[in-house]
Amino acid sequence: MSIDSNYVHPEVLVTTAWMADHLKDDGIRIIESNEDVLLYDVGHIPGAVHIDWQRDLQDHTVRDYIQPEAFAELCRRNGITPETTCIFYGDKSNWWSCYALWVFRLFGHTKVRIVDGGRDKWIAEGRPLTREVPAFAPVDYPVPSARLDREIRAFYDDALAQSKASRPLIDVRSPGEFKGLVTHMPEYPQEGVLRGGHIPGARSVPWKEAVNADATFKSAAELKAIYQENLGLKTDDDVIAYCRIGERSSHTWFVLNYLLGFTKVRNYDGSWTEWGNRVGAPIEKSV
């Protein structure tokens, strides 16, 4: 399977076959990001480094992302310079790799790619895994001048303003979560949400609609049908996507931003674990 050239930015995806042929290329870094905390240790694409969404990207003392200094240090120790093309892949149809990519974009790192189909496709095709952890000589990564929170990230107030102004809000969680029937995915832990429902005015488009059974992204035509024809969005719409903690919505952010070329998409990473608990935050149920 090749990458659909009709995506607005097809260059942001690489196939598993391409990845297998370019493992030792200069100027790239393969990065695995997973939900399963031990999966990288079980085996990973040769040469891949592990970036853990909690340990490496978040600052739990303030429920926020790391600061630019820490991001620069993360890149330095993984042999990543501003010129390095970071190729992300992972489990769960690339939820966490899209999340990590999105965080890299928060720090202005634009040379990013996703392995279409992620870890599952790589394994399904019988491609090699290793337990060998690569080591890289430290390189220079200047501290980014800022984190680009205003450009691709939405906060509670942004989501509230979006709701009040009836601008597009996409709820990418499962239908049961959207309707308020459950506060978590089936068989998943309850992540501390007190109320079920969705942000008023949000439309339900589960992230899953954007992927095929093999975890690859659907074609440009199929994605356009979902988001533009059925949902009525335009590529210059101001769109905010959210889920429960921001990882599934990173996946949808990636689809809208890169594959369909939307120019103003933001990921509300506080998502339902913030909105559902926030005092005074209005919700709707069962639409």
Partner 1 sequence: MSYPAKLEAIISLFEGLPDPEKRETLIAYSDQAKAQEPGEGESFDLEDIRKDEECTDTVAVFLRIDDAGGAHFRIALGPQVQTLTKAMSSILCKGLDGITPEEILEIPADFVPRIVGAELVRLRSQTVYYLLTRMKGIVKVWLRRKQAGRD
Contact footprint for partner 1 (CB under 8 A): 35-39, 41-42, 54-55, 91-92, 174, 185-189, 191-192
Non-local (6+) Cβ contacts of 207 within 8 A are 93, 95, 172, 243, 248, 249, 251, 252
Buried b (16+ CB within 10 A) or exposed e, 150-167: eebbbbeebbbebbeeee
Nearer to partner 1, 92 or 251 (CB): 92
Least Å distance between CB 86 and partner 1?
23
Least Å distance between CB 41 and partner 1?
6
Nearer to partner 1, 93 or 163 (CB): 93
Nearer to partner 1, 83 or 187 (CB): 187
Non-local (6+) Cβ contacts of 122 within 8 A are 16, 19, 45, 89, 115, 129
Least Å distance between CB 35 and partner 1?
5
Helices (H), the chain: 16-21, 39-42, 68-77, 95-106, 118-124, 149-152, 156-164, 175-179, 220-224, 247-254, 271-275
β-strand partners of 86: 29, 112
Spatial CA neighbour of 107 closest among 41, 51, 45: 51
Known catalytic residue at 75: no
Least Å distance between CB 214 and partner 1?
13
Nearer to partner 1, 157 or 187 (CB): 187
Which residues are identified as catalytic? 243
